[in-house]
Amino acid sequence: MDAQGRGRADDIDPADQWVLNPDTGDYELRLTPPPPQSSVPRPRRAAPAEAPTPAPGRGGRADHADREVPASRRRRATPEEEPPGRRSRRRPAKKKSRGKRILLWTGGTMAFVVLAAGVGGYLYLQHLNDNIQSVSDDGAGTGGFSKDKAINILLIGTDKRTGDGNEGYGDNGSAGHADTNILLHVSKDRSNATALSIPRDLIVDVPDCPTTQEDGSTKVIPGESEVRFNTSLGQSERTPSCTMRTVTELTGVTPDNFMVADFNAVKTLTSAVGGVEVCLAKDIDDPDSHLKLPAGKHTIEGEEALAFVRTRHSVGFGGDLSRIEIQQQFLSALMRKLKSNDTLTSPSKMVKLAEAGTEALTVDSQLDSITKLKDLGLELGKLNIKNLTFTTVPVVDNPAEKVAATVVLKEGSAQQVFDMIKNDVSFTEVKEKEKQQKEKEDAADAARLKGEKSEPGEIRVRVLNGGASDGSAGRELTYLQNEAGVTKSENAGTAAEDIDRTTLEYAPDQADQARALAEILGLSGAAMKPGESPPNSQGLPTMTLTLAKDFKGAGIKLDASSGKAPEDVQKSTADKVECAK
């Protein structure tokens, strides 16, 4: 049975099975028609002794007055008909506001979709459980998302050519790769989220993957070094849990759950919402993706929507990174459509979304029921899409290749992005975040960062290793002298003891130098420690920079909680309409 057929009774549209309950004001799913009324008369109630026996009606049944009337169908007395003394005890009926009625439909709707998959919500019911396909997470995740913590969901779009009409999109015999990969991070307070795209051609190390077999046994699939990210799924019998482990190895963030969607997800979900509006800055005629559209705005669905997210040769630089950007624009458009009143107030569309969503997704074993998906949807539904940022892992062309085919991490920027996600830092300017940050800052710490700053060439500092990895002091010294212009710096060896947080100690008359160096290193005011100024090798008073366990590498900003993303990171928010170039 296809997705549209599930939940139907004969030829009844699922949306027609939602019936308004007059007592509660809520819509309820009636999967089966009410039982036919029996032709056998029910036992009569004993009539009061003083009342005459009523004459039987047609068919041997008693007249209306002799039948038991269900409470839900009894007519309430008007105020004029009520006995004296009762009117004052009547409570006025509470009428549900339109907003609350809408909330009944939208409260559990999942706020994010991968390749147009992942719609869930209040309409997810037990009869949809059979639609859900699940695969073991093999212990690669956290054990599932938590309502009181930040949420990290790995969204995987495969290029497996299953389903009608998908054979023409490339390798029909492929086992499927991790073709489109998004790590969705939703903040602990649900005020903001980051959707981090991971390029399929990024060179990574795929770790060993313990994988559950059909007979319940575990097989360890050997890892590989310096291979494309997309080989973390489908190759060598790797399952989505292997992709999850690869993400953890790459970013340091362990996903809570994963969701996997194939090509059909784009088709069915866009059709379920009646299409999404996209914008093109130029004409596109891509014979590989089969997309042919003139410049301007278009509403696309089904096959045309799949062609849109698959195109790459006709946009940007014609590579996978350009395709990532057009997919992010598509997802933003889909998000806006899902959040629109046109979708949220339509029971028919919501039922179709529920059916299509459960058919399109494969989830991990921690999300294998409607109840769990509904709970996740309620958490994601709290997010305002204007605070959802799409961004991509910072990368550069692989220097080992003469003809660029793969990419590698951009040192410094990539690690800073990963740190922001690990530290639950928003890429958008969220007022609530700013308020909380200001409340946490000590006035004295903030004051240390304000004031005059020396030129880099005037800064005198010695660098100590106080818990960072071996060689960190030397590498940071090279960065300071060659790239930051801090030429009056020197390596002072190993500190007396290891510390957890990097510090900069300076004398009061070196405050201008300290502020300048703090800006270069990304130090917070709390890391600046007024104190002594020991002499350097030339006998001149010098500040002391002690690299601690939190040191990430030469040139990497030390304080990710500053809330500033690297300037070279591409980012966009889901509430803005952008045209593919």
380 domain-assigned: yes
43 domain-assigned: no
| Residue closest to 66 by CA, chosen among 82, 51, 88, 83 | 51
SS3 137: coil
Question: How would residue 30 be classed by pLDDT, with cut points 50, 70 and 90?
Answer: low
Question: pLDDT value at position 524?
Answer: 84
The rounded mean pLDDT for the chain is 75
Q: Which ranges in 80-200 belong to alpha helices (H)?
A: 98-106
294 domain-assigned: no
| Residue closest to 536 by CA, chosen among 448, 452, 459, 453 | 459
pLDDT tens, 65-119? Answer: 444 444 444 444 444 444 444 444 444 444 444 333 333 323 333 333 333 333 3
Is the same domain home to 424 and 454?
no
84 domain-assigned: no
Question: pLDDT value at position 121?
Answer: 39
**pLDDT at position 456 over 80:** yes
Q: What is the mean pLDDT of residues 12-38?
A: 51
Bridge partners (DSSP) listed for residue 544:
462, 505
> Max CA-CA distance within the chain?
121
Q: Of 429, 451, 466, which closes a domain? A: 429
**pLDDT at position 185 over 90:** yes
The pair of three-digit structure tokens given for residue 89, joined into one six-digit string: 């005890």
Backbone torsion region of residue 205, taken as left when φ is above 0, otherwise alpha when ψ lies between -120 and 50, otherwise beta:
beta
Q: Of 402, 429, 456, which closes a domain? A: 429
SS3 447: helix
Q: Of 405, 429, 453, which closes a domain? A: 429
Is the same domain home to 147 and 119?
yes
Q: What is the mean pLDDT of residues 315-343?
A: 76
Is the same domain home to 401 and 474?
no
- Calculate Rg over the CA atoms of the chain: 31
Is the same domain home to 469 and 546?
yes
Question: How would residue 392 be classed by pLDDT, with cut points 50, 70 and 90?
Answer: very high
- The enclosing domain of 515 has a CATH number of 3.30.70.2390
Task: DSSP letter for 43, please.
Answer: P
Is the same domain home to 371 and 229?
yes
386 domain-assigned: yes
**pLDDT at position 349 over 60:** yes
Q: Which residue has the higher pLDDT, 360 or 114?
A: 360
Is the same domain home to 524 and 490?
yes
Q: What is the mean pLDDT of residues 222-238?
A: 93
**Number of neighbouring beta carbons within 10 Å of residue 395:** 19
For the chain, give the percent of residues with pLDDT over 70: 67
CA distances from residue 568 to 396, 410, 565 in whole angstroms, order as listed: 12, 10, 8
- The enclosing domain of 229 has a CATH number of 3.30.420.590
Q: What is the mean pLDDT of residues 460-476?
A: 93
478 domain-assigned: yes
242 domain-assigned: yes
pLDDT tens, 504-538? Answer: 999 989 999 999 999 999 888 888 898 888 988 88
**pLDDT at position 161 over 80:** no
C-alpha 154/C-alpha 261 separation (Å) is: 11
**pLDDT at position 124 over 80:** no
Asked if residue 388 lies in contact with residue 112, where contact means CB atoms within 8 angstroms, the answer is yes
pLDDT tens, 532-554? Answer: 889 888 889 999 999 998 888 88
C-alpha 537/C-alpha 461 separation (Å) is: 11
Is the same domain home to 258 and 129?
yes
Question: pLDDT value at position 264?
Answer: 79
**pLDDT at position 61 over 90:** no
Question: pLDDT value at position 256?
Answer: 96
Domain that holds residue 484: 443-554
Total domains present in the chain: 2
425 domain-assigned: yes
Is the same domain home to 119 and 247?
yes
For the chain, give the percent of residues with pLDDT over 90: 32
Cα dihedral angle (480, 483, 485, 486), rounded to 10 degrees? 0
Is the same domain home to 392 and 414?
yes
C-alpha 38/C-alpha 212 separation (Å) is: 54
Is the same domain home to 424 and 488?
no
C-alpha 422/C-alpha 487 separation (Å) is: 33
C-alpha 322/C-alpha 317 separation (Å) is: 6
Is the same domain home to 550 and 463?
yes
Q: What is the pTM of this model?
A: 0.60
Q: What is the mean pLDDT of residues 42-56?
A: 44
pLDDT tens, 336-347? Answer: 887 776 766 777
Task: Establish how many alpha carbons lie within 13 A of residue 27's alpha carbon, considering only the half-sphere containing its beta carbon.
Answer: 23
Is the same domain home to 404 and 450?
no
**pLDDT at position 394 over 60:** yes
Residue labelled with tokens 């910072």: 394
**pLDDT at position 577 over 70:** no
